[in-house]
Amino acid sequence: MGASPDRIGDEVPRMFSRIAARYDLTNRVLSGLRDRAWRRALVRAAAPRPGERVLDVGTGTGDLLLEFRYREPSLRLWGLDLSRGMLAVAQNKLKRSGLRGSIALVEGDALRLPFPSSAFDVVAIAFGLRNLPHPLQGLREMARVLRPGGRLLVLEFSLPRSAWLRGLYGLYLKHWVPRVGGWLAGDRPAYEYLCRSIHEFPAPDQIAAWMAEAGLRRVSVQALTGGIVHLYRGERETYPSSSAPLAASSASCRRRRA
Ligand SMILES: C[S@@+](CC[C@H](N)C(=O)[O-])C[C@H]1O[C@@H](n2cnc3c(N)ncnc32)[C@H](O)[C@@H]1O
């Protein structure tokens, strides 16, 4: 499942506020500079059109918002996060790049999005779903604020399918990630939590099934970088699920490999 409910009250956002100042640097180092490529893959899959409204849930330091903006300058962008520390870093970053005025940053909870239904054309969440105490509820909320036919994109860590790669990656998570997180971000427990949360998070097929349960159809799953990250895409159904002739199901999921 996601972060255990007793962690979420304040604990997870507080943990992110503690590491906010060094979050980007630690990400770049731990991912071997792949994290930008993963976010760009999400933006490509979202295929945003000029003037569309895009919400980035768990925006953190705003890197995904910037990727959307680089791809299509006319997008109307919102970034939401529960951590003030992460939002402060995002705000400074947007200010430095001269973009602050055209992107709204909102403090709020992914499980109770402060937006009306059908407000967005695209909703995205990068490395945030795993941190929610109720990922399915989060997906339902994200589906709610999407207009019918709108696209939901999820980027999330996962364990590779291949046994030997999984073994190697397990060693990397256990021995290297907490050490580097301790050195660079000064918070080894936060990076121990990262490793634990990756191990505990359900497999890609389960995430795809949750997306279908949340009311998304044409759900597709793409493995990135040997399967240590997966990119999920779905579209909000255009009819109420009760009147759907055939509810979207995990059987309709398409898997793709990068
Ligand atoms: C691993 S970071 C990902 C940040 C960013 N999306 C990225 O690509 O680097 C997860 C983010 O989710 C936020 N978060 C955790 N729980 C949340 C919640 N319930 N509502 C909104 N944001 C939340 C954290 O504060 C953190 O900024």
187 located within any domain: no
184 located within any domain: no
The number of domains in the chain is 1
169 located within any domain: no
- Nearest CA to 154 among 218, 200, 219, 105? 219
Select from 23, 40, 82 the residue to mutate for testing ligand 1; criterion: most ligand atoms less than 8 Å from CB.
Answer: 82
Q: Is the pLDDT score of 89 beyond 70?
A: yes
Specify burial of residue 221 (Cβ count, 10 A radius: 0-12, 13-18, 19+). buried
21 located within any domain: yes
Q: 4-20, pLDDT tens digit by residue?
A: 444 445 789 899 999 99
In this structure, the residues whose C-beta lies within 6 A of any atom of ligand 1 are 12-13, 16, 58-60, 63-64, 80-83, 86, 109-111, 126-128, 131-132
Instruction: Kindly compute the dihedral angle of the four CA atoms of residues 78, 93, 48, 210, in this order, to the nearest 10 degrees.
Output: -60
Average pLDDT score over the chain:
89
Task: Give residue 131 CA to ligand 1 midpoint distance, Å.
Answer: 7
170 located within any domain: no
Range of the domain at 79: 5-159+202-257
Here the CATH number for the domain that contains residue 229 is 3.40.50.150
Q: Tell me what pLDDT residue 257 has.
A: 41
Q: 103-117, pLDDT tens digit by residue?
A: 999 999 999 999 999
167 located within any domain: no
80 located within any domain: yes
Select from 16, 64, 91, 132 the residue to mutate for testing ligand 1; criterion: most ligand atoms less than 8 Å from CB.
Answer: 16
Confidence of residue 97 (pLDDT cuts 50, 70, 90): confident
Give the C-alpha distances (Å, rounded to integers) separating 52 from 18, 48, 142. 33, 7, 16
168 located within any domain: no
What is the CB neighbour count within 10 angstroms for residue 76? 14
Confidence of residue 255 (pLDDT cuts 50, 70, 90): very low
